[in-house]
Amino acid sequence: MQQPLYLYNTISRKKELFEPLYAPFVGMYVCGPTVYGDAHLGHARPAITFDLLFRYLKHLGYKVRYVRNITDVGHLENDADEGEDKIAKKARLEQLEPMELVQYYTNRYHKFMDKLNVLLPSIEPLASGHIIEQIQFIERIIDAGFAYESNGSVYFDVLKYNKKFPYGKLSGRVLDDLLTYTRELTGQHEKKNNFDFALWKKADAEHIMHWPSKWSEGFPGWHLECSVMSTKYLGEVFDIHGGGMDLLFPHHECEIAQSTAVLGKDSVRYWIHNNMITINGQKMGKSLNNFITLEELFSGAHKLLDKAYSPMTIRFFILQAQYRSTLDFSNEALQGAEKGVQRLMNAIQTLDKLNPSAISSIDVKWLQDKCYEAMNDDLNSPVVIANLFEGVRWINSITEGTESISAEDLKFMKSVYQIFVFEILGLTNEISLDTSNRLVGDLINMLLTIRNEAKSKKDFQTSDQIRNELAKLGVVVKDKKDGFDWEIKEIQTSDKISEELTKQDIAVKDKKDDEIRKKKMNSYKIEMNFNDSIYTKNISSDSLSTAYNKWIQELDIKDIKENCIKNFGPKSLQILKEETEEFDKLVIKRKPNIWRISPVKLFKGSATISISVEK
């Protein structure tokens, strides 16, 4: 271990030295998803946050048992023990068995976590697989005098518990305030107090998921599963309990009360909470219907997205903020993350091409120490990334010849980036050439070799043409004294490649888009908004491309020119033509079921043209 690790403990509200109960063993429990829908960007943050902690603890030499649960029963629509079970409701609407729904969304959750390079936990227990243990835990709470049965349901007596143990110490909620401000809800008449919470709920006749107990045919309360499964797999007292800030109250507060009621002591030594991802300043979540699923992020198929973003862009976006700070969604932030991770990976690839010198002019040990210092300061990943980019500046300087590095230090620097970028931050190099696409790299190298030969023969027309055509495909060529280098500037270039091939009358068939068209596309509404003037046209067609071609043939560029003159004067056309090689040329940006078209460049104005599906 390089330095002592400090973690922010929510219950003490300060950073504390991390000292495991039974070093080198560490027990960590994290609240996992309720699997009634696809994971969204908000779910990615706790997954990546605690993956970072899991990876770092293992890197420090700890033997970590990481337990992350799957909630598949008992999570009602309202945290105040009313409403329908979220999973049962979704299963009823989709006419599926609840466990069929659970399995489907659990599988998809794992698939998306794998794309984000989130490691699997050591144990992933399901709430429905621990019904017997939950019933036994309720019996122990009743025996301790902190729960009561009412009409077949069992509730935790918060007022009685608070007389012996402080309720609200994690969240800072004061019981007097709860007594004053807790609102009356329907179906709360069974409780002694509205803030009492359910340990067992008697199932209504139409409730799909239920089990027998001495109190009724019913199901466990949502808060109970985590008290039961954490102590079952990690012991009565364990090191770390993690989750999102939104779980702090009531979920984690109720967990503390349940476990303390049975054991007479706190189970958790370090409470760690990640903050929220927000969208327009509001928490992103399914309950607020303002979320973007991970699948939508990866495909770009959401109205708020300008484009698709790769899994490593999402991971880097989340790691760029310290886990306890809020993180606001925006396309600009995601595009910044995309450029950042690409720049980092390009620098790592450059490391393998550096020629060592006799001595070093840089202090590589400083870079390592600063990265450890940041990680040991409550997992300060943005500072780690900032330090790594300082190293990127060094790498570029070495390439340019303004700095030097010895063979020993070069080897050490490679290990620093291997450890922090790949092992600890958990990033992967999406632009590296694997076995399946190494041919692309060979073809690019062949073209650049031909280009060099053309340059040596002073055939600059051929040389420039190769460079320009590669640039259109997102390949940036870098001329060097001893040859050339290149990098793929944009990770996702399939659309640009398709465009170039289409121009050359080479058919490109996108199976996914083809399936979408067959299922959804019959009639198209085409709308162009240029400087607040709207042009709309409805076209029926068998395919999207046919609809677009019909429209583009009928589009009168004269309207655009007249609009330009009207808004910016006659000189604007002259300037416009100077700034764009082809004024009438349109560039297509394709999404799975929306094509957006805009002029290459417009003077002080822009046109947005969208083609949408009319059902």
| Domain final residue pick, 449, 468, 495 | 495
**Residue 573 lies inside a defined structural domain of this protein:** yes
| Tokens standing for residue 23 | 């070093």
**Residue 289 lies inside a defined structural domain of this protein:** no
**How many helices and strands (H and E) does the chain possess?**
21, 23
| Domain final residue pick, 495, 527, 543 | 495
Tell which wins on pLDDT, 49 or 532. Answer: 49
Say whether both 514 and 474 belong to one domain.
no
Residue 475 to residues 105, 306, 349, 558, 583: CA-CA distances in angstroms?
38, 22, 15, 36, 25
In this structure, the number of other CB atoms found within 10 A of the CB of residue 125 comes to: 22
Map residue 506 onto helix, strand or coil. coil
Is residue 303 scored above 80 in pLDDT? yes
Say if residues 344 and 351 touch (Cβ distance below 8 Å).
no
Say whether both 388 and 487 belong to one domain.
no
Tell me the whole-structure pTM to 2 decimals. 0.72
Go through 198-227 and write b for each residue having 16 or more CB atoms within 10 A of its CB, e for each that does not. bbbbbbeeeebbbbebebbebbbbbbbbbb
Run of H or E residues at 588: strand 586-590
Say whether both 414 and 447 belong to one domain.
no
Say whether both 362 and 414 belong to one domain.
yes
Is residue 270 scored above 50 in pLDDT? yes
Say if residues 29 and 238 touch (Cβ distance below 8 Å).
yes
Query: Which amino acid, one-letter code, is at 239?
Result: D
Say whether both 402 and 470 belong to one domain.
no
Q: CA–CA separation, 47 vs 243, rounded Å? A: 9
The pLDDT value recorded for residue 540 is 57
Q: Which residues pair with 611 in a beta bridge?
A: 526, 595
Q: What whole-number percentage of the chain has pLDDT above 70? A: 73
Q: Calculate mean pLDDT across residues 372-383.
A: 97
Q: Is 33 exposed, middle or buried (0-12, 13-18, 19+ CB in 10 A)?
A: buried
Q: Which residues, other chains included, contact 313 with Cβ-Cβ below 8 Å and sequence gap of 6+?
A: 334, 337, 338, 341, 491
Q: How many CA atoms lie within 13 A of 216 on its CB side?
A: 17
| Tokens standing for residue 132 | 């017997």
The pLDDT value recorded for residue 615 is 33
Average pLDDT of the chain is: 81
| Domain final residue pick, 377, 395, 424 | 424
**Residue 560 lies inside a defined structural domain of this protein:** yes
| Tokens standing for residue 464 | 């420039």
Say whether both 460 and 543 belong to one domain.
no
**Residue 523 lies inside a defined structural domain of this protein:** yes
Q: CA–CA separation, 595 vs 605, rounded Å? A: 20
- Residue 302 backbone phi and psi in degrees, to 5: -150, 140
Say whether both 455 and 520 belong to one domain.
no
The pLDDT value recorded for residue 536 is 55
Map residue 296 onto helix, strand or coil. helix
Query: Which amino acid, one-letter code, is at 507?
Result: A
The pLDDT value recorded for residue 476 is 85
The pLDDT value recorded for residue 473 is 81
Q: Calculate mean pLDDT across residues 123-152.
A: 97
Say whether both 389 and 473 belong to one domain.
no
Q: Which of 129-138, 196-205, 513-522 has the lowest mean pLDDT?
A: 513-522
Say whether both 566 and 479 belong to one domain.
no
Q: CA–CA separation, 372 vs 395, rounded Å? A: 20
Run of H or E residues at 502: helix 494-503
Tell which wins on pLDDT, 558 or 379. Answer: 379
**Residue 3 lies inside a defined structural domain of this protein:** no
Say if residues 254 and 156 touch (Cβ distance below 8 Å).
yes
Dihedral-angle region of residue 300 (phi above 0 means left; psi in -120 to 50 means alpha; beta otherwise): left
The pLDDT value recorded for residue 609 is 43
Q: CA–CA separation, 592 vs 303, rounded Å? A: 12
| Tokens standing for residue 399 | 């390439």
Q: Which residues pair with 269 in a beta bridge?
A: none
Could you report the per-residue pLDDT of 185-216, keeping only the tens digit for each? 445 688 999 899 999 999 988 788 899 999 99
Domain harbouring 262, CATH code? 3.40.50.620
**Residue 408 lies inside a defined structural domain of this protein:** yes
Could you report the per-residue pLDDT of 316-365, keeping only the tens digit for each? 999 999 999 999 999 999 999 999 999 999 999 999 999 999 999 999 99
Q: What whole-number percentage of the chain has pLDDT above 90? A: 57
Residues in the chain: 615
Is residue 492 scored above 90 in pLDDT? no
Tell which wins on pLDDT, 48 or 176. Answer: 48
Q: Which residues, other chains included, contact 169 with Cβ-Cβ below 8 Å and sequence gap of 6+?
A: 11, 256
Domain that holds residue 550: 509-614
Q: CA–CA separation, 610 vs 509, rounded Å? A: 22
Q: Which residues, other chains included, contact 519 with Cβ-Cβ below 8 Å and sequence gap of 6+?
A: none
Q: Which residues, other chains included, contact 78 with Cβ-Cβ below 8 Å and sequence gap of 6+?
A: 185
Q: Which residues, other chains included, contact 342 with Cβ-Cβ below 8 Å and sequence gap of 6+?
A: 431, 489, 491
- Residue 296 backbone phi and psi in degrees, to 5: -65, -40
Residue 551 to residues 547, 556, 607: CA-CA distances in angstroms?
6, 10, 15
Say whether both 347 and 475 belong to one domain.
no
Say if residues 33 and 110 touch (Cβ distance below 8 Å).
no
Could you report the per-residue pLDDT of 531-579, keeping only the tens digit for each? 444 545 555 555 555 555 555 555 555 555 565 555 545 554 444 444 3
**Residue 452 lies inside a defined structural domain of this protein:** yes
| Tokens standing for residue 369 | 């120490």
Number of structural domains the chain divides into: 4
The pLDDT value recorded for residue 175 is 81
Could you report the per-residue pLDDT of 221-267, keeping only the tens digit for each? 989 999 999 999 999 999 999 999 999 999 999 999 999 999 999 99
Radius of gyration of the chain from Cα atoms?
A: 29
**Residue 6 lies inside a defined structural domain of this protein:** no
Say if residues 588 and 503 touch (Cβ distance below 8 Å).
no
Could you report the per-residue pLDDT of 467-486, keeping only the tens digit for each? 888 888 878 888 866 567 77
Q: Which residues, other chains included, contact 211 with Cβ-Cβ below 8 Å and sequence gap of 6+?
A: 131, 217, 218, 219
Q: Which of 240-244, 311-315, 565-569, 610-614 has the lowest mean pLDDT?
A: 610-614
Task: Band the pLDDT of 282: cuts 50, 70, 90.
Answer: confident
The pLDDT value recorded for residue 598 is 36
Could you report the per-residue pLDDT of 397-435, keeping only the tens digit for each? 999 999 999 999 999 999 999 999 999 999 999 865 444
The pLDDT value recorded for residue 188 is 67
Say whether both 27 and 155 belong to one domain.
yes
H-helix segments, 320-380: 331-351, 364-376
Q: CA–CA separation, 554 vs 530, rounded Å? A: 17
HEC letters along 204-221: CCCCCCCEECCCCEEEEC
Map residue 139 onto helix, strand or coil. helix
Q: Calculate mean pLDDT across residues 273-301.
A: 86
Say whether both 454 and 577 belong to one domain.
no
Q: Calculate mean pLDDT across residues 149-163.
A: 96
